[in-house]
Amino acid sequence: MRIGLIGTGNWARTVHGPSVAAHPNADLVGVWGRDRARAVEVAGELGSVAHADLDGLLDTVDAVTFAVPPDVQPAIAVRAARLGRHLLLEKPIALTAADAVGLERAVADAHVASIVFFTRRFLPDVQAWLERVAEQGGWYSGRAEADFNYLIDSNQSVTSPWRREHGALWDLGPHSLAQLLPVLGQVTAVTAVRGRGDQVHLIMRHTENRSSTASFSYTSPTVSGNSLYVDGTAGRLAAPMGNLSNAEFLAAHRAALDALIEQSQRHDASHPCDVHFGARVVEVLAAARQSLASGCQVEVVPP
């Protein structure tokens, strides 16, 4: 599969680009970014070609992998889908529910394959955990926490402008939702409350009278790490949530790329982490943002 890289930031240089370049069934044929000089630099590092024009890149590829901010991604992804290009998207797929649904519809209309890179969902231990909870059943609630102090320490890998503006809710929240929703079902209502710094606490109502809570922060002064568990008739089952190495990021992206290639070869191009699931995650985050603004519970209404 001929693949183009959209983006020139840290995630593009350390994960997306190297993963595609090393994949035995993919060819990294070009790089495009909003900063032409950086695109040239990244393409040189990866042994590829920089394109000054986005359409010039899209004309040469079968698929694109995205490593750009979520306010930039939807318009480019819609453009690529309409040209028949398959999409390996970053999470969140957009910063508004309208943009997410618009991208979802463009993918459906174009009949292209789509994968959203919810990193942990493509790691074997998390896949095994999800299979185990599916086999056991009887789950009625869950809890996720993701607390870091990146914005305090000015960690360059996570201090991009969109992360500073939208905080951990939009950056870390998608990862937790990507594990809670397959177990507890779609979220139907959200109540969100602000904590210290950018911390946000969520109370979520799921289908079939299930529920979950979550807490996300990039400004925690002391706590650092992830945790996630579900409760059910069989007791409590915690998910594997250790800190990930760059090798694990690369392995996860390779697995996501495997899924995209496989999906592109099927008539039914659905996948548990496709654009449709990605849009449902954005709808939950958008409802949380609305709840923060209004102080009220917000219903999550499907399109």
Question: Domain locations in the chain?
Answer: 2-120+248-272, 123-241+281-299
Q: Cα(216)–Cα(278) distance, rounded to whole angstroms?
A: 19
Residue 154 has pLDDT above 70, yes or no: no
* pLDDT tens column, 55-77: 999 999 999 999 999 999 999 99
Residue range 217-224: mean pLDDT, rounded: 84
Banded pLDDT at 163 (limits 50, 70, 90): confident
CATH number of the structural domain 2-120+248-272? 3.40.50.720
Residue range 163-179: mean pLDDT, rounded: 94
Mean pLDDT of the chain: 95
Banded pLDDT at 153 (limits 50, 70, 90): low
Entry pTM: 0.95
* pLDDT tens column, 194-209: 999 999 999 999 999 9
Exposure string of 201-239, with b = 16+ CB inside 10 Å and e = fewer, is: bbbbbbeeebbbebbbbbbbeeeeebebebbbeeeebeb
Tally helices (H) and strands (E) across the chain: 12, 12
CB 210 within 8 Å of CB 186: no
Banded pLDDT at 269 (limits 50, 70, 90): confident
Q: Cα(152)–Cα(218) distance, rounded to whole angstroms?
A: 8
Strands 63-66 and 27-32, sheet pairing? unpaired
Residue range 105-122: mean pLDDT, rounded: 97
State which amino acid sits at residue 69.
Answer: P
| Domain 123-241+281-299 class in CATH | alpha beta
Q: How much is the pLDDT for 119?
A: 98
Q: Cα(281)–Cα(175) distance, rounded to whole angstroms?
A: 9
Residue 222 has pLDDT above 90, yes or no: no
Residue 178 has pLDDT above 60, yes or no: yes
Residue range 254-270: mean pLDDT, rounded: 93
Q: Cα(188)–Cα(33) distance, rounded to whole angstroms?
A: 37
Banded pLDDT at 237 (limits 50, 70, 90): very high
**Lowest-pLDDT choice from 44-48, 113-117, 148-152, 296-300:** 148-152
Residue 157 has pLDDT above 70, yes or no: no
